[in-house]
Amino acid sequence: FCPSIAVLSQGQGGSIARDILIANNIIKMNQTTGTFATTTGLVKLDKGAINCNISDNVLDGNGNCKAFIQCEEDIENVSITGNSIRDCAPWGIKLFDGQLGLKFDNITLSGNSLTNAGIDIGLGLTPVCKNISVTSNVILNSPSYGINCDFVETVDGIVIDGNTITDPTSTGINVRSPEVVISNNFVRTQAPVCLILRNSSNAVVSGNVLRSNTGANITFNNARYSSITGNQFHTETATPLGCIIYIGPNYGGDTYSSNVFNSGSAYGVYFNSGEEICTFSGNQFLSGVIRKSEEHILTGNLGIDNYKASGGNPNGAFTPAYIGAEAFDTVGFNWYKAVGLTNTDWKLTT
């Protein structure tokens, strides 16, 4: 273990470090070979730190430091703001629960500038977390995820808002936590996905601008019942299946409204099969449609049909996803509405 340059920890007698400011320092990792060349926690808050602020420091990991600022378990009321961090492998800021089950309360990561470094919130399977906010950070060329929010199962109040993330080696924002708010971020990636929601049900995804070259904007994996509102989705090429891709089990039930889709492939939203019914209302599809759209509720969307097109009477041809679904017979020019949930429940309305 390499001693940190700054360590705040609970001592042998149970004393607690509190009300400490680490500010306006210049710290560089000079050792590039040997035992301590890839150390973590050059600036470190350890168990029992309360009311501490790490701000406006210039921190250089020299391409080796695994995590420059590291906060371990059982800390509260901690702000990490306005720091300039560069060249870490891979984390500039890391929250880490090494003992499992201890608290992280009221943690703010805001206004930091990270170049060749990312932010990791890897809190184990059973942390007790309240009010963790990651806001207004600029993250450029991270060698891993831009922001990694992983294995946070017992949590109340994680907000990822207003961050700018460009060209990470891996995913822009990786979330494995329920009920996260992901809002007003700008994420641009080349090959990876902008945002992964995995085991992340009841998320709020709003006001983001997500752009990817050969990757998707969002992938869902074992995540459902999320609100997807007011985002701009853009994929540059036909390589991804769509702007949004459902790739795993136990997904669907999501609500989409007021989003703009501009897909380089055939689909704005790519469903596989077996997902719960999603609702799309008031979205604009500049390019790309919804795969298996007939299995979902569509109202008032621009650029796509809000009904199932049928080359003849739909009875016996396909099964409605929900009562009230509409189908249009492109041969007889008649409208049908579903009055039941079997393939003979289409009722002629015109």
Q: What is the pLDDT of residues 76-125, one digit of tens each?
A: 999 999 999 999 989 999 988 666 667 788 999 999 999 999 999 876 65
Q: Tell me which amino acid residue 151 is.
A: F
pLDDT reported for residue 11: 45
Mean of pLDDT values over 317-327: 87
> What mean pLDDT value characterizes the chain?
88
280 neighbors 299 (Cβ within 8 angstroms)? yes
Rounded Cα distance, 192 and 238, in Å:
14
pLDDT reported for residue 287: 96
Rounded Cα distance, 2 and 70, in Å:
13
Looking at per-residue pLDDT, the higher value among 42 and 145 belongs to 145
pLDDT reported for residue 288: 95
Out of 179-183, 239-243, 246-250, 320-324, which region has the weakest mean confidence (pLDDT)?
246-250
Phi-psi region of 247 (alpha: psi -120 to 50; beta: other; left: phi over 0): alpha
| Residue 13 pLDDT exceeds 70 | no
Q: Tell me which amino acid residue 69 is.
A: I
Q: What is the pLDDT of residues 167-200, one digit of tens each?
A: 999 999 999 888 899 999 999 998 789 999 988 8
pLDDT reported for residue 150: 81
